[in-house]
Amino acid sequence: MAPAAAGHPAYYFGASGVSALAFFPLWKAAAIGQSGYQVEGQGYWRKYFEAMKPPWRGSLVVIGGMTWARAAIFYGSDTGSKWMRQQGYSTALSSTAPSLCVSCFAQAVNQPFVRSSIMLQKPGEELARQTFPNMAMLRHLATTKGLSSWFTGLDAAILKTAPKYMTAVLIKDYMGLWLAPVDPKDKQAVLLKSAKVSVTAGVAGAVLTNPLDVVRNEMFKTEEGMVPCMMRMSKEDGPKWLLRGIGKNWVAVAAPIASTIFLTDRFKIWFGH
């Protein structure tokens, strides 16, 4: 099978940017839920709405970070996969190795901004009122806990992020092979196939890695190591901590991943790739 063309990087950045902007409120709700922060309201849906609504603290940093990271991961994965297949590597290795490497790099670069953004979502956080809240939070962390605190939870974040995108890319590539071929001229069939691949890839990546999201966010609050943090939560809450915030997270993570994959495919077609 000939490897799929990656397309112009602008398609990936455009799709990733639209998705990050559209789904930021869902990310905010998931971050609050997984961190165990309390919000006002009675009942699940009321609390969900309260968690989603403004103020959207650190939104520009989150949206910017998500945009470049997802674009780099999917573009790097497609480009790397194409090159590896041309060198004779298997579909499995070609789909996993590039996404694993690029996602690890992107997570490491974004980690300080991810941590500061999540901590800013705590209701009543005073630093959220600063003109540049993310920088204020990073200064606070450096002053009170040292520069190394910027990278607290990086191990859990990489263990979460890398498999999430690796799973999404692997499913995307294999589903493209497994699903019945469609006539490229049949726009509805092409659209439906792209939607199936995108949604399945996004949901699988989000659900499988939810526990590591919980561990990372808890580490931000407590400064614990990953293993001690997991042991403490298991002792306090039993296995139910593995599912903390999953109702919000699978939507918050799956939706932008699925839409990024889907819109990238659309942009390739719309702009004549």
Number of domains the chain is built from? 1
Measured CA angle at 109 (ends 260, 150), to 5 deg: 125
Q: Is residue 57 part of a domain?
A: yes
- CA gap 219, 35 in Å, rounded: 9
Q: Is residue 3 part of a domain?
A: no
Instruction: Give me the phi and psi of 185, to 5 degrees please.
Output: -85, -15
Q: Spell out the per-residue pLDDT of the chain, length 273, in tens.
A: 334 456 788 889 999 999 988 888 888 887 777 677 777 766 666 777 777 777 777 788 989 999 999 899 889 888 998 899 889 998 778 878 888 889 889 989 999 998 998 888 887 888 888 889 999 999 999 999 999 999 988 887 887 777 777 777 777 777 767 776 777 777 777 777 777 877 787 777 777 778 887 888 788 888 888 899 999 999 999 998 888 877 777 777 778 888 888 888 888 877 764
| Owner of token pair 């509805």 | 188
The backbone region for 217, taken as left when phi is positive above 0, alpha when psi lies in -120 to 50, beta otherwise, is alpha
- CA gap 177, 103 in Å, rounded: 24
Q: Is residue 2 part of a domain?
A: no
Residue 272: what pLDDT? 63
The closest of 16, 9, 17, 10 to 75, measured between CA atoms, is 9
Cα of first residue to Cα of last residue in the chain, in angstroms, is 19
Residue 105: what pLDDT? 92
Q: Is residue 4 part of a domain?
A: no
Helix runs in the chain, H state only: 9-22, 24-35, 44-52, 59-86, 91-120, 133-145, 154-178, 187-208, 210-222, 226-237, 246-270
Position 235, amino acid = K
The closest of 112, 217, 203, 106 to 164, measured between CA atoms, is 203
Q: Is residue 265 part of a domain?
A: yes
Check if the beta carbon of residue 159 is closer than 8 Å to that of residue 227: no
- CA gap 217, 230 in Å, rounded: 12
The closest of 266, 248, 221 to 50, measured between CA atoms, is 248
Cis peptide before 55 (omega within 30 of 0): yes
Which CATH number fits the domain that encloses residue 102? Answer: 1.50.40.10
What domain range is 58 assigned to?
Answer: 9-270
Q: Is residue 120 part of a domain?
A: yes
Instruction: Return the axis-axis angle of helices 9-22 and 246-270, rounded to nearest 10°.
Output: 140
DSSP code for 4: P
Q: Is residue 223 part of a domain?
A: yes
The backbone region for 182, taken as left when phi is positive above 0, alpha when psi lies in -120 to 50, beta otherwise, is beta
In the numeric block, which tokens belong to residue 186?
């049949």
Reported for 225-230, long-range contacts at CB under 8 A and 24+ positions apart, including other chains, are 226/153, 226/155, 226/156
Three-state secondary structure call for residue 122: coil
In the numeric block, which tokens belong to residue 248?
């919000």
